Amino acid sequence: MRYSVPHPIPYQGSKRRLANAVLSHVGRHKYKRLIEPFAGSAAITLAAASSNLFPSFLIGDALDPLIALWQDIIQSPDEIADQYEALWNRERRNPIAEYYLIRSEFNIDRNPAKLLYLLARCVKNSVRFNPSGQFNQSPDKRRTGTQPTTMRAELNAAHRLLHGRSQAVTSDFMSLFEQARPGDFFYLDPPYQGTSEGRDQRYFESVSRKRIVEGLALLNEKGIPFVLSYDGSCGNMYYGEPLPADLADRVLLDVGRSSQATLNGNDHVTIESLYISRCLKYAGSHAPLPLAHFSPQTSMFA
């Protein structure tokens, strides 16, 4: 599938395919700023900037080299593109051995260009950190990652969308909630509960369900609107339990067959949950909403 919105940072779990569904809840209200506290690939920010839905943007994340990467994209994309190209060319000598060497170097120097390279080359673009905060995902042996010319084009396209109206900060999500002011709009994409707590923890910073609930209660108290992606299912596998009904309305999105399930010979459908804050004034009652079948190729629900 081809997209018109740039996507320089490859990230498994990116909401690129769901951006239109998420942003459909912004409505006609003129908000001043979109904030993504769990930015990752910042797919929603890029989509919103492409459609000029907000005059300014704040990209937040707890992973410092990721924020350094976004700062480079906003300010000096060609520099990061040059560094990425050098790493990509360096790997040509001995792809697997060089990948592991670059991974070891990143775990020491936390260089943002090395993080971009690792995300582009690792298995399924799937970020993984061990409990010590070290990147530990293996290389994808079936592909070589994003070509340098393509990466440069993506980086510069994102720069054109964000330069002059965006800020990237290393921050805990609760701090951004506490600093929220009227005119802000939050899109929240924390790790699924099943990948953030317990034995399958795989992200740089775990996010407990309790803290999420406390944070949403704070946003509701302040009257700050939000849309949250938090739990879902694929076939018979469920990722987390629904959040309390008094926090927000829940919309279920049928996003089609799981690519991973297809690779495994299954035909499982992925369901994503969106939680819509009560202060977003859209038509109809605030009763629980039915399953919505969303087509990623369109900008509306099918």
- DSSP states of 228-291 as a string? EEEEEEETTEEESPPPPTTTEEEEEEEEEE-HHHHHTT--PEEEEEEEEETTS--SS--SPPPP
Taking the model in full, what pTM does it have? 0.84
Per-residue tens of pLDDT for the chain, all 302 residues: 456 899 999 887 667 778 888 898 887 788 999 999 999 999 999 999 999 999 999 999 999 999 999 999 999 999 999 999 999 998 877 889 999 999 999 999 999 999 999 999 999 888 888 888 899 999 988 888 899 999 999 999 999 999 999 999 999 999 999 999 999 999 999 985 544 444 444 444 568 889 999 999 999 999 999 999 887 656 566 566 788 999 999 888 876 654 444 344 455 667 788 899 988 854 333 333 333 433 333 322 22
pLDDT of residue 186: 97
pLDDT of residue 252: 83
pLDDT of residue 234: 63
* HSE toward the beta carbon, residue 253, CA cutoff 13 A: 23
pLDDT of residue 235: 54
DSSP H or E stretch at residue 34: strand 33-36
Catalogue all structural domains in the chain, each as residue range(s) with its CATH number: 31-189 (1.10.1020.10)
